[in-house]
Homo-oligomer: A and B are copies of this chain.
Amino acid sequence: MMDDERVKRLVGQAVTSVIQSTSDPRKDAAMERDKATFSSDNLSEYMNGGKDNIVKRRKLIEIMKTKPWGDKRGRYNMTREEEHVAGLRGAVGIWRLMREENLDIRDAAEMRQLLFLPGGFELHIGMFIPSILSQGTDEQQATWLPLCMNLQLIGTYAQTELGHGTFLRGLETVAVYDPESERFVIHSPTLTSTKWWPGGLGKTCTHAILMARLVTRGVDYGPHAFIVQIRDLSTHLPLPGVEVGDIGPKMGYNGVDNGFLRFDHFLVPRDAMLMRYSSVNKDGTYVPPPAQNSKASYATMVYVRATIVRDAGDFLGRAATIAVRYTAVRRQSSPDQNRRELQILDYENVYEALIPIIAKTFALKFMGKQMMSMYHDFVKARERNDFSALPSLHALSSGLKAFCTDIASEGIEECRRTCGGQGYSVLSGLPTIYTSYVQNVTWEGDNNVMYLQMARYLIKKRQNSVGDMRRGACVKSIVMSPADWENPHAVTTALKHVEDYLADGAIFKLQDLSSGDLVVEGEAWNQSTMDLIQVSKAHCRLVLYNAFSEELALAKLDANTHKESIAILEQILRLFGLICLKESGCELLESAHALPEQHRMVRQQFKLLCRDLRKNAVALVDSFGYEDYLLNSAIGRRDGNIYEALLEAAQSTPFNKTQEGPGWKPVLRDLLHEPASRL
């Protein structure tokens, strides 16, 4: 006992200076908030569409926390099977809650966002019901929709096949009409025709909207939609003639049972075909769709892509919030032993990585808002039978889908890496955001294909400028000082110039490869896809800058928003302009729009603004309004108490259920107990 006390005294003396030089991360977090030049609460209200939304969200979180399915502890410790079941429980829980508490559909959507646990119902809500609404006859809607809304069946949307993704015309599954029995025969004629990827298809769904080549009277009319039951409703077993299952583990999103599906001469009634636009008569006569059908299906694609554009800033914002909060309280390296180490956010390479990501998040959020309002304007026009905006909207939503998801994916991963080791821990929340988000660059149209759809539109529009190869090169920048690059006119002129320059180059190449003609497909096109993608990216950059600028002009009209909030947004916009210019540096110089010394000024001004915004970094991410419940991140907590959170989360990981660990009994015990005289 005496001995113990002596030892403790000895140690106590030895650690005094160590203890003195440590710092409480909670104090760092508070200090950061004191430094801000604006009220993050005020900006948050604007960014979240008003105070009511924030209050409502917090209320929903309080309700969710009381439900077993809403408990996020242990979230990062689930097996695939457990994650899948938890996802189903969450979806059903929200659905029941919505009915019990009389919540509206937007509240349910908000809760699904807050839960952040995708499962087997995603496509039931996101594509099965919308497809029936858009392509089903009134009678079909009356039959199916009540069953859908009551969850008496669960549907998915089965289009992609093992061998065929973005290229719809390549689909191989057939639906052959048999006039004798008045039924369609659904069949998978090849291995590659196996349906592959539909969410919820593996084990959850009882029904599917199936895209299959419609063949009747010996004629192949290409892909059409059919509503097909695939599982028995009482036993959940696949129906005879149906082989269905899960496609295996994925990089993320593992609560969702993405599935495969094969048919062996599987018979469905004639009215399984969704017949709002085209139909097959009893005798097998095909009734083609009216002209606007193709437009209608384009409109659905536009909608889906628009929502992806809308959500990109949301996911990037989550990652930015975690990374900024962590790097603001994480300290590393000190000039001398007894001084506290420095906040890593104070190193130039850290804040020059994260401040631009904050700026991109704002840009994406404003772009998403504008994209959705463009879509809603189109929907209104469509009611007047005015489809004139559709071609440009389709091109824009395609290109932006790619551009915004590329920005978000790369930004999320950069945030994760900036957190060093802790960003590699699932407990940070960052790996889950990345691995579940990054598929956005692939689904709903692979990003490169999306850029090319936009490029096709842009190049066609430019057909008049054919041959005018160096047109873009004449507009020289008149920038004289670094701050001149903050001028919106200087930014837009430069970005427009880059787009023109790249487009002219691509057109020149396309003509060159096609003996003077300007073709937008075939060999010449395929040999220019990299150049064409660059054209679309340049166009998107300008669109994003303009959207930010226009939305900010609207924000200024909002009476509740403080002038300090507006001022910080203006500064962020200026930084975003500089980011766009920096990313276009090579083209600006190569086309001689900017002289070397002008280009150096871009970098100078960029650095100046990043440094100046550093003090507001934490307040800026606070203003996105992500609650701790949503982020579920040990290192992204608002209060900064990251180390306690990490240790507690580690201590409760199931791997620590026994002191000896999972390897002791099966392997280590025998090994370590083996006599030393062994082999």
Residue of B nearest to A533 (CB): B349
Alpha-carbon separation in the docked complex, A611 to B513 (Å): 14
Q: From the candidates B8, B331, B420, B446, name the one contacting A265 in the complex (CB within 8 A).
A: B8
Q: Is A276 an interface residue (CB 8 A)?
A: no
| Pick from B77, B203, B260, B643: contact of A650, CB under 8 Å | B260
Tell whether A337 is near chain B: CB-to-CB under 8 Å.
yes
Question: Closest CB of chain B to A661's CB: distance in Å?
Answer: 3
Whether A189 lies near B346 (C-beta < 8 A) is: no
Do B89 and A667 touch across chains, with their CB atoms under 8 A apart?
yes
Answer whether residue A334 sits at the interface, using C-beta atoms and an 8 A cutoff: yes
Contact A191 B236 (CB under 8 A): no
Question: Is A482's beta carbon under 8 Å from chain B?
Answer: no
Residue of B nearest to A664 (CB): B236
Restricting to A411-450, which residues have a CB under 8 Å from any CB of B?
413, 416-417, 420-421, 423-427, 431, 434-435, 438-439, 441-443, 446, 448
Query: How many angstroms between the C-alpha atoms of A530 and B589 in the bound complex?
Result: 22
Q: Are B22 and A644 in contact (CB under 8 A)?
A: no
Is A55 engaged at the interface, CB distance under 8 Å to the other chain? Answer: no
A619 within 8 A of B: no
Q: Report yes or no: A18 in contact with B586, Cβ–Cβ below 8 A.
A: no
- Interface stretch of the complex, out of A27-35, A40-48, A243-251, A386-394: A243-251
A421 touches B165 (CB 8 A): yes
Q: Are A662 and B18 in contact (CB under 8 A)?
A: no
Q: Which residues of B contact A246 (CB under 8 A)?
A: 650, 653, 655-656, 661
> Which residues 140-176 of A sit at the B interface, judged by CB distance below 8 A?
150-154, 160, 162-167, 169-170, 172, 174, 176
Q: Is A287 an interface residue (CB 8 A)?
A: no
- List residues of chain B with CB within 8 A of the CB of A332: 164-167, 170
Assess A427 versus B248: contact at CB under 8 Å? Given A11-B189, A332-B170: yes
Contact of A644 with B191 at beta-carbon distance under 8 Å, contacts A7-B178, A77-B248, A167-B341 already known: yes
Residues of chain B within 8 A (CB-CB) of A218 are: 13-14
Q: In the bound complex, do residue A162 and residue B643 qualify as a contact, i.e. CB atoms below 8 Å apart?
A: yes
Interface pair B204/A663, CB less than 8 Å apart: yes
Q: How far is the CB of A340 from chain B (nearest CB, A)?
A: 10
Copies of this protein, total:
2
Known contacts A13-B218, A653-B248: A163-B85 contact under CB 8 Å: no
Segment touching B, from A130-138, A314-322, A483-491, A592-600: A592-600
List residues of chain B with CB within 8 A of the CB of A22: 163, 172, 190, 192
* Number of A interface residues in the complex (CB < 8 A): 164
Scoring A residues 1 to 26 as 1 if CB is less than 8 Å from chain B, else 0, what string do you get? 00110111011011101110010000
> Given contacts A181-B3, A191-B647, A347-B529, are A249 and B14 in contact (CB under 8 A)?
no
Is A335 touching B521 in the complex (CB atoms < 8 A)?
yes
Does A185 lie within 8 Å of B10, measured CB to CB?
yes
Among the stretches A92-100, A294-302, A563-571, the one at the interface with B is: A92-100
Q: Is A528 part of the binding interface, using a Cβ–Cβ cutoff of 8 Å?
A: yes
Chain B residues closer than 8 Å to A250, beta-carbon distance: 424-426, 431
> Could you tell me if A162 and B647 are in contact, using CB atoms closer than 8 angstroms?
yes
Find chain B residues with CB under 8 A from A265 CB: 4, 7-8, 11
A600 closest partner in B (C-beta): B590
Q: In chain B, what residue has the closest Cβ to A267?
A: B7
A379 to chain B, nearest CB (A): 30
Within 8 A of B (CB), among A572-603: 585-586, 589-592, 596, 599-600
Interface contact A663-B77, CB-CB below 8 Å: no
Q: Let me know if A669 is at the binding interface, CB within 8 A.
A: yes
The reply to whether A100 and B165 contact each other, CB–CB distance below 8 Å, is no
Chain B residues within an 8 Å CB radius of A554: none
* A527 beta carbon closer than 8 Å to chain B: yes
Whether B203 contacts A10 by the Cβ 8 Å rule is: no
- Chain B residues positioned under 8 Å from A11 (CB to CB): 174, 176, 185, 187, 189, 265
Q: List 19 A-B contacts (CB under 8 A).
A: A15-B174, A15-B187, A22-B172, A84-B661, A84-B662, A92-B667, A150-B678, A167-B333, A170-B334, A204-B661, A234-B673, A236-B661, A236-B668, A238-B659, A245-B656, A246-B656, A335-B521, A417-B438, A585-B586
4 A-B pairs closest in CB distance: A203-B661, A589-B589, A251-B431, A15-B189
